[in-house]
Amino acid sequence: MTIQFRRARRDDVPAIVGLLADDTIGAGRESIGAGGDVDEAYWAAFDAVDADPNQLLVVAEGEGEVAGTMQLSFIPGLSRGGAWRAQIEAVRVSSSRRGGGLGGAMIDYAVGEARRRGCALVQLTTDRRRTGAHNFYERLGFESTHVGMKLVLGPDGS
Amino acid sequence: MTIQFRRARRDDVPAIVGLLADDTIGAGRESIGAGGDVDEAYWAAFDAVDADPNQLLVVAEGEGEVAGTMQLSFIPGLSRGGAWRAQIEAVRVSSSRRGGGLGGAMIDYAVGEARRRGCALVQLTTDRRRTGAHNFYERLGFESTHVGMKLVLGPDGS
C-alpha cells in the first residue's frame, strides 16, 4: 500500500478525531458521535492549527483513508543558542494499520520536516504507560532525557 | 523587593541569555561573550518569538534587573477535545535570587496566563537530572505523567 503524507484538510477532522479516540489512553478524552459527528471545539481547533504557520497537522493517507495523524509544532526560542525546535504531538496510527512500519515512516517524515525548517532539536513526550512507545522512539534515536509534567486546568477555573 | 512580570523586550536579550547560561546544565549550550555580547542567532530567535502571537517570552524584573525568565508557548490542537495547551520552557531564576519564592511566582503567572487564554492544560518537561525541579513542580500541582524524549539534529544534517 502506498502511503502519502500531507497537510490535513478541514474535511479530515472527523477521521483525525476518530484516530485520537481509537486509543486506550485517548479514548476517554475525546467525544465523537455515533455517526462520526464531532463537536464544534474540534473544528475550531483545526482552524486555529491551520491558521498558524508554526503548526502542521499531518495525515498519512493510504487508499483514500486516513491511516495516521500527528501534529508538528515549530517553536522558536533563545535557549540552545537560539535554536528552533520541532515538537511532535498527538501521534496516532489506525488500529488496523499498526505494526506495519507506518509509525516509523511518520516520525521519519517529522524529522525531515524539522530539518527542512532548520530545527536543531525534535522533542516529544509520551505517557509513562506507553512503554512500547518509549522503545519505539529510542530505536529511532530519541533519548529519554526529560520528565514530562502536566497540570490539568479545570473548566471552572479550579 | 517588588517583582514585575512583563513581556520581554529586545534589549532584554543579553540578560536573558545570561540567565540561560547561569545554569549547570544550560551553561555548555549557550555562548555569551565576556562583555555580555550575544550571537546574532539569539537576536534572530528573539525576533521570531516576538513576532509569533502564540509565544510569550517573559521576564521577571526587580530593581531594574532581570531576575528570571521563561518562555510560554500556546499550542492549539485537536486532542483532548480540541484543547489549547500552554507549554513552559526555558525557566531560569538568577542564581542570586534562588530560594526566595520567585520560581513559584513565575509558575503562578504562567498558569494565570494559560487560564486567561483558555488553555485546558499546562505542560513542561524538565531534565531528569533536575530532581529538585521535579519536587518543585509537584508541589505546585503538576503530575509527572510523561517521559520527555529528545532527538538532537546535527548542524551538518546528521
Its pTM stands at 0.95
Return the residue in B151, B152, B156, B158 with the most chain A beta carbons within 10 A, the one to mutate for interface testing. B151
Out of A39, A147, A157, whose CB is closest to B125? A147
Q: Where are the beta strands (DSSP E) in chain A?
A: 3-7, 55-62, 65-75, 85-93, 121-127, 143-152
Q: B83 contacts in A (CB within 8 Å)?
A: 41, 45
Cα dist from B108 to B38, B115, B134, whole Å: 30, 11, 16
Widest distance between CA atoms in chain B: 49
Q: Which amino acid is at B14?
A: P
Residue among B39, B46, B47 at smallest CA distance from B69: B46
Residue among B72, B108, B102 at smallest CA distance from B89: B72
**pLDDT band for position B26 (50/70/90)?**
confident
- Do the strands A121-127 and A143-152 form a parallel or antiparallel pair, or are they unpaired? unpaired
User: How far is it, in rounded angstroms, from Cα A147 to Cα B147?
Assistant: 5
pLDDT digits (tens, 9 = 90+) for B132-157: 999 999 999 999 999 999 999 986 55
List domains and CATH numbers for chain A.
3-139 (3.40.630.30)
Q: What ipTM does the predicted assembly reach?
A: 0.94
Q: What's the alpha-carbon Rg for chain B, to the nearest Å? A: 16
What percentage of chain A has pLDDT greater than the value 90?
Answer: 81
Q: B29 contacts in A (CB within 8 Å)?
A: 79-81
Instruction: Mark residue A101 as left, alpha or beta (left: phi above 0; alpha: psi -120 to 50; beta: remaining).
Output: left
User: Is it the case that residue B102 has pLDDT exceeding 80?
Assistant: yes
User: Is it the case that residue A86 has pLDDT exceeding 70?
Assistant: yes
